[in-house]
Amino acid sequence: MWNEQRIQNVLEAQRRFFRSGKTLPVDFRLRQLARLKAAVQAHEEELLAALHEDLGRCPEEAYLCDIGALIVEINEIMANLKKWAKPERHFSGMLCFPSRTTMVYKMPYGVSLIISPFNFPILLSLGVLAASIAGGNTAVIKASSKSSACTQAIATLIADTFPEKYAVVVDGGHDVADLCLAQPFDKIFYTGSPAVGKHVMAEAAKNLTPVTLELGGENGNWCIIRKDADLKDAARKIAFFKMLNAGQICININQIAVAEEVAEEFLDELQKAIAKQMGEHPEANPEYPRMITRAAFEKCLAAKETYADRVVFGGDADEESLKIAPAVIYPVKIDEEIVQRELFSPLLPVVPYPDDQVDSVLRTIAQREHALAFYLFTKDVRWAKKVMSTQQFGGGCINEVCLHLMVKGVPFGGVGHSGMGCYHGVWGFREFTHPQTVLVGETRGNLPLREHPFGGRKNAYKMKILKVFER
C-alpha cells in the first residue's frame, strides 16, 4: 500500500539519485530507453492481456494504439536524442562584447510525477516516461486505478526494469494521487479531464511546480462535414474512429455538424460503415471494446435514454460485457446540452446546418472552450486550410481523423481547457527539460559602457555608442 511516508521516501531517494548526476549523460539515457523498449517487447503478452481485461480491446487494436505506438515513440527519441540534447552555441552579440559565446544547455527538471489515465494506460504512462527519461529526469508514475490490470502490468514491468530510485509506479485512487501532488516534485505531467486538471494545477502551484496538462476539452471535439465532402470516405473513417476504444479517446469526435443538404445520405453511409466494420450488433462483437467501469456504462446509457426519441440507429447494450454500440443521435441543435460537454463514450450527436451557414457554426464553436481536436471533411481544401489556421484547438485533420497524432516530429497538445504544453518526439524532450542560458565572458577587452559614471561631458560618448549597439 502507498501512503504519504512511502511516497516521501521514494521522492527523497529519486532526488538523491538525480543529484548524483548519473541521469545527465546522454549515453545513460539511451541505455535506459533501450531497456524500456526491451521490457515492453518482453512483456507484450501481459500488456495485451491487461488491455483486454480492462477495456475489452482486441490484440490488434491494443497493439496499434498502445504498444506499437509506444515502441515507435521510443525509437524516434533514441534516434534523435544526441542531437536534441546537444548544447546550443550562440553568438553573444555586439552589446555583450568582448564575449563571443553563449551556450544554451538543455537541463532536466529533476524528479517528475506522471499521472496517467485509463483509456490508453500503456502509451500515456510509458510514452510520457520515455520523454522524461530522454530529458534526464527520474519518474514516479501514478497510474489509473480504473485500469487496474494495466496498472499492475506496468508496475511489474517497471519494477523488473528499473530501481525505485529511478522509476516507479504508484497505484491507488484519488487519495493516493493527492498524496503525490502534495509533494514537491520538480515537474508534473497530467493526462485526464479539465476538472481534475484544474485541481492538479492548483496543487502544483503550492510548490511552484511546472505542469504539463493534456486534457480532453470541456466542450468536446467537433467534426464538420460540408455538402461537397466524400460522404462514404468520411463515414468510413468516422465509424472506425468512433468505435475505437468505444469512444473513450481524448481526441475522438464528440459531435458532428453535417450540412443538412447531405445529412440523411451521410447517416445512411455511417450506418453501413459501422455494420461493415463491426457487424449489425457491435456490442456482441468480441473485437469491440467496452466501457471502463459499470459507472461509465450506466452514465452513457442514461445520457442515451435522455435522447431516446432521436437515436436513429445503434445504442444497443450488453449489461454483462459493459459494451454499448455507437448511438447516433439526430437531429440535435447546436445549443443543446449534449453538444456542449465531452461525452467520452460511443454517443454521437449530429447537428444539421445549412451549408451556406457554416461560418455561423464555426463562430459558435470558437466561442466555446478550445477543443483538443478538430476535423473537417470537404473537397475545398483551400477553404479548410484557412479555417484550420484561424480556429483555436489542439490539433486536427482535413479529410481524415486522428492520424495527426501519429506524425513524427510534430507536437501534440491542447490549449486552454484542452491543456497546456505538448509532447511527442522532440516536443516531449523539450517539455521535460529547461533551456539554461550561460554566457561565457572575457577578462580582457571589456568596455566601460555598462559601468558608472554615465554623467558629464567626459562620458557623453557612452549614450551614443549604446544607441548604435541597441538598435
Residues with a catalytic annotation lie at 214, 250
What's the chain look like in SS3?
CCCHHHHHHHHHHHHHHHHCCCCCCHHHHHHHHHHHHHHHHHCHHHHHHHHHHHHCCCHHHHHHHHHHHHHHHHHHHHHHHHHHHCCEEEECCHHHCCCCEEEEEEEECCEEEEECCCCCCCHHHHHHHHHHHHHCCEEEEECCCCCHHHHHHHHHHHHHHCCCCCEEEECCCHHHHHHHHCCCCCEEEEEECHHHHHHHHHHHHCCCCCEEEEECCCCCCEEEECCCCCHHHHHHHHHHHHHHHHHCCCCCCCEEEEECCCHHHHHHHHHHHHHHHHCCCHHHCCCCCCCCCHHHHHHHHHHHHHCHHHEEEECCEECCCCEECCEEECCCCCCCHHHCCCCCCCEEEEEEECHHHHHHHHHHHHHCCCEEEEEEECCCHHHHHHHHCCCCEEEEEECCCCHHHHCCCCCECCCHHHEECCECCHHHHHHCEEEEEEEECCCCCCCHHHCCCCCCHHHHHHHHHHHHHCC
